[in-house]
Each structure stands twice: as structure tokens, then as C-alpha cells.
Structure 1
Amino acid sequence: MKILSYIQEGVTRLGVHTEAGILDVEQALAASGLVKGTRSLTLQDLIAGGPEILSHLNGLAVQAAGGVDVSESIALLDESALQLAPCVQSPGKIICVGLNYRKHAEETNAPIPQTPILFSKFNNALAAHLEPVPLPAASQKVDYEAELVIVMGRTARNVSREEAYKYVYGYCCGNDLSARDLQMRTQQWLLGKTCDKFAPVGPYLVTADEVGDPNRLAISCTVNGELRQSSNTADMIFKCDEMISYISLHFTLEPGDMIMTGTPEGVMLGYPQEQQVYLQAGDTVTVQIEKLGQLTNTMTI
């Protein structure tokens, strides 16, 4: 199931993507008698609802896609007319894994990591599909990074690799935008990684059951229509289950937490210095991942 967030009259709402349009989650569940009250549902509410609500929603979405009226009070929405929000609204943690693709490590002349390299972004970095991303005045070297994002569905602490996927709610496209001149200013990467809107995610959060094996997904990135990155998550050094387990051994993962799993080769940092042309105002970046859709953002001043 493909879940999205959109803004209506200043309120963020949840929707389910179907071929026939967007099914409003709150209206659908209210019409079914599964939720009550006037408070808008959040992704955390949906995750907390567990398999029952997810299964029920999936059934309604299938009906809607097949042209069956799920309720007289519910009209499917035109996705192209919606103002989307980040598909994950308020993660407690945004954890990023650096140099996690073998060919990317090689292109930057970095040694292959023996353990996952972890850093973080903050919620100010979140951006939605089609949301403009301002280039920071302090940087002249903003780079793109297409990434698979894991979204947690259960509290995970000291989880084994064998059990790791049971804790995943779903996956989405992400762009780990990076101000390279700020990132490399010190040994800590944070400054160049969590500028405003530097973590676009979406357009959908696709539930784990629909994705299957996350370690075998085609992943690509274009800038103004020019292909820059083209790879497969199979090139990841540390697979998704290994990353979840490793992180959970050191600190607790909570529902809604995000893990950005690294980027493949083809980033501008990997080009010879004389060929490096970093993102400029007006450039449009599109991340595409198999089964997850396309995430597009345009750079602005």
C-alpha cells in the first residue's frame, strides 16, 4: 500500500494512493467505524493501529481502485491537485548511513567501511515531493544523493538480523542533499547534511509487504533529465537487515524513525574536480526507486 501525506486547509492529512485517486485515510476509517473523534490522524496513529487497520485500509483501497464506492461520503481525490507533505512527518530520529555502496566508496577514493558509518539529520531537513529546496547561502557545492529510506514500524532494541524486517513499516525514496564544502569543513559531517529541506522524502511511504526484498531495487537519480546515478540496492555494503540490527544494538529505534541507507555512485563529489558542477537554482532533481515511485524537487535561492 502506498501512503502519502497532504495538506488541506492548513491541516496535514493521510491518503492512500490508488489508480483511481487518493483515498482519504481518516474519512475511510471513520466511515468504517474504526476511528472516532475530530483530531486528524497522524502516521504514528496509523502505525500504532497495527495490521488490522492496515489490512482494512488496503481492502478499501482495492475496492476504490476497482471503481467500487467505499462510502457515499468519500470522494477520491485528484493527486495532481494536492499539496503534498513529507510522507513521514515527525520522525524521532533521521539516521543516515554513509559510504554504504561499494562503487560510491570507490569513486570517492574512500576505504570500504568495516562497520556502518552513522550520522544524522534533523526534522528541519524534511521536504515533500515537488517542494522547492533553498540552496544555503553559505554553500557553493550542494550535491544530490538518491537513497532508499527505511521507516520503522515497531520499537527495536537489540534486534537480530533474522528478526529485523519484522520491525519495518515501509520504505520511501529519499534525497540526502549534501553541502560538500560544509560537510568537509570538519571531520563531523552534520553541518553539510541537515540544512533546511535537505532530506526530501516521498512521494509515498510504501508498506513493507508491497516492497518485498529491499536489497534488490533499481535506484537512479536525474538532474534536469540527465541521468547521474543508476544502480541497484544490491550494491549496498550493509544490507537493510544488518543496518537495523546494528543500530538497534546501540540505541533504540522507535516507530516512525527513518534510516537513510546510503547513495550509489554518480554523485558530483565523485567526478574529477575540473568536471564538478554542483546544483544551481532552477535545477530539478528526481530520485526514482523501483516499487517506490519518483521524488522530484527543484532547487531555489
Structure 2
Amino acid sequence: MKLVTYLLLGVKKIGVIHNSGNVIDITDIVNTDDMNVLIEQYAAVEHLLKKICVDSDARGLPLADVHLMAPIPAIRRNIFCVGKNYYAHAQEFGNSGFDSSAAAGNVPAYPIIFSKPSTSVCGPGATVDSTLDPCNTIDYEAELAVVLGKKGRVSDSDDPMTYVFGYTLVNDLTSRQLQKRHSQWLLGKGIDGFCPMGPVLVTADEFGVPANQKIRCTVNGEPRQEAAISDLIFDIPTLIKTIGQNITLLPGDIIATGTPAGVGLGFTPPRYLAIGDKVTVSMAEIGELTNTII
């Protein structure tokens, strides 16, 4: 099932994507416009929502007639993010002179976890304010994001994948100079609007096996990044267990799994984003997330 948060005539709503491709409003059915609440209550409404998706009498609205927001526009706490989680990207970042991580210049022995605050989230089609990077060094990072669906800490006997609710896309936009200057990544990556998310949230049962998916990124239509999720250094179960063994996971939590090689920093000279650039992150099962730098 594909879930969306959207605006219609200025009113926030939650919807499902019907088999026809139209958006069906389910806000009143689930009694909330908050995707976090829907995720918490999903088991009670799953059967009904699946029925709506195939209902031949359902009409809905074309996607073009609504304004998509990030699937979870109001995340409850920071997004968990993973640094240097593809071998080729670990190498390009390690050779860039901008790597200030504890594993500088190396493939990390353990996952590198940082975060992006809730105010960094924006939706598909949103513009990104380049003036918020005083260094003019904005870079793109296409990532698969895992959305969690239940509360708890992950024990050694748990299957971490039982915590997964679904998947979406994020673009981990970064001020490279701020990232380098402060030696920690929060300020360079946590800038307002520097975490585009969307366009849809695909439930785990429909998404299938993550390792079989490929993620791509283009800038103004030019291919920059492409990799299989199977190329992750630390796979999704490992990431969930690493974070969840000491931190109580919550429904609606998001883990951005890392970006492949091909970021702007990896070019000589670096190819940072400029005003007017359109960046598109895409994956077959999720769709396209496009944002413009202004």
C-alpha cells in the first residue's frame, strides 16, 4: 500500500493511492491527519485500507490535483541517519579531505549514526533555500529511508525487520563546508529544509525485499548516483539493531540508510548544487522525489 500526506485547498489530509493511481482521502476513516498516528493504529485499519485500494467504486483525485507533502511532515524526533554506508562512497568521501568522522579515510567498522532535526524535513516539489548554507557548498545524497512501525528496544533474539512499517526516499542535503568545519555532521546536515522526503510511504508488504531495489539520483536530468540497496555496508537489520539495542524505537521513527557514490564532493572540482538545479531521487517502488535549489 502507498500512503501519502497532502494538502487539498489548504487542508492537510492522509490518503492511499488507489490501483487507478488516484488519491483516496482516508482522513475521516482513520480519524487523523497525522501519519504517525496512522502508523500506530495501522493493524486495526489495514484490512479496510487495502479494500479501499482495490474498490472499483472509489474515485479519488488525480495526484496532479493535490499538493503532496512529506509522508511524515511532522516527525516526532530527529531522523536517524547513517554515514559512509556504501563502499564506493566511503572511499570517495574518505579521499575528499572533508571526512572528519572517527573512521576518517576508512570503511567504518561500525555504523556511523548522526541525525537531522524535524525542521529539516520538506516535501516533494519543495524549494530548498540555498542562502541557509553560508558556504555555498550544498551537496545531494540520495537515500532509502526505513520507517519504523512499533515501539521497543531490539534484543538479540528479535528479528529487526519486524520493526519495519515501510519505506520512503530522502535527500540528505548537506553543506559540505559546515560539515567539515564543525567535525560533527549535525550543523552541516540539519539545516532547515535540507531533508526532502517522499513522495509516498510504501508499506513493507508491498515494497518487497529492500536488497532487490536500486536507488538513483539525477541533477537537471544528468545521472549522478545509482546503486543497489544490496550494496549497503551495514544492511537494514543491522542498522535497526544497532540503534534499537539501546534506544527505544518509536512508531514513525525514520532511519536514512546512507548514500551511494556519485555525490558532488566526489568530482574534481566538486560539483555542488547551484540556484535553479533540480535534484531527483528515485526508486521504482516509491517514485520520484524532486526538489529545486533557489
Mark yes or no: TM-score above 0.5: yes
Residue number in structure 2 paired with 1:69: 57
Residue number in structure 1 paired with 2:117: 122
Q: In the alignment, is the contact (CA less than 8 A) between 1:3 and 1:204 conserved in 2?
A: yes
Residue number in structure 2 paired with 1:195: 191
- Indicate the larger mover: 168-177 or 131-140: 131-140
The one-letter code matched in structure 2 to 1:155 is K
Residue number in structure 2 paired with 1:294: 288
The one-letter code matched in structure 2 to 1:42 is D
Deviation at 1:161, TM superposition (A): 7.6
Q: In the alignment, is the contact (CA less than 8 A) between 1:161 and 1:245 conserved in 2?
A: no
Task: Describe the SS at the equivalent of 2:182.
Answer: coil
| Pairing of 1:153-168 with structure 2 (within 5 A) | 153-160=149-156, 163-168=159-164
Distance 1:239 1:49 in 2: 27
Distance 1:160 1:178 in 2: 34
Residue number in structure 2 paired with 1:18: 18
Q: In the alignment, is the contact (CA less than 8 A) between 2:154 and 2:160 conserved in 1?
A: no
Distance 2:9 2:114 in 1: 35
Task: Describe the SS at the equivalent of 2:197.
Answer: strand
Greater than 6 Å deviation, 4+ residue runs: none
Structure 2 CA distance for partners of 1:184 and 1:8, relative to 1, 3 Å = same
TM-score (structure 1 length as normaliser): 0.89
TM-score (structure 2 length as normaliser): 0.91
Equivalent of 1:253 in 249, 252, 273:
249
Deviation at 1:10, TM superposition (A): 3.3
Deviation at 1:214, TM superposition (A): 1.4
Distance 1:198 1:55 in 2: 36
The one-letter code matched in structure 2 to 1:229 is Q
| Pairing of 1:183-222 with structure 2 (within 5 A) | 183-222=179-218
Distance 2:185 2:73 in 1: 24
Distance 1:44 1:160 in 2: 27
The one-letter code matched in structure 2 to 1:294 is E
- Percent of aligned positions that are identical: 40
The one-letter code matched in structure 2 to 1:101 is Y
Task: Describe the SS at the equivalent of 1:295.
Answer: strand
Deviation at 1:162, TM superposition (A): 5.1
Equivalent of 2:148 in 135, 152, 164:
152
Q: Does 1:41 align with 2:9?
A: no
RMSD in angstroms over aligned alpha carbons?
1.5
Equivalent of 1:131 in 126, 149, 155:
126
The one-letter code matched in structure 2 to 1:10 is G
Q: In the alignment, is the contact (CA less than 8 A) between 1:159 and 1:249 conserved in 2?
A: yes
Q: In the alignment, is the contact (CA less than 8 A) between 2:82 and 2:258 conserved in 1?
A: yes
Distance 2:196 2:242 in 1: 25
Equivalent of 1:90 in 74, 83, 94:
74
Aligned length, in residue pairs: 281
Structure 2 CA distance for partners of 1:160 and 1:17, relative to 1, 3 Å = farther
Residue number in structure 1 paired with 2:227: 231
Distance 1:148 1:180 in 2: 21
Task: Describe the SS at the equivalent of 2:46.
Answer: helix
Which structure 2 residue ranges, 5 or more long, are not aligned? 95-104
Which structure 1 residue ranges, 5 or more long, are not aligned? 30-34
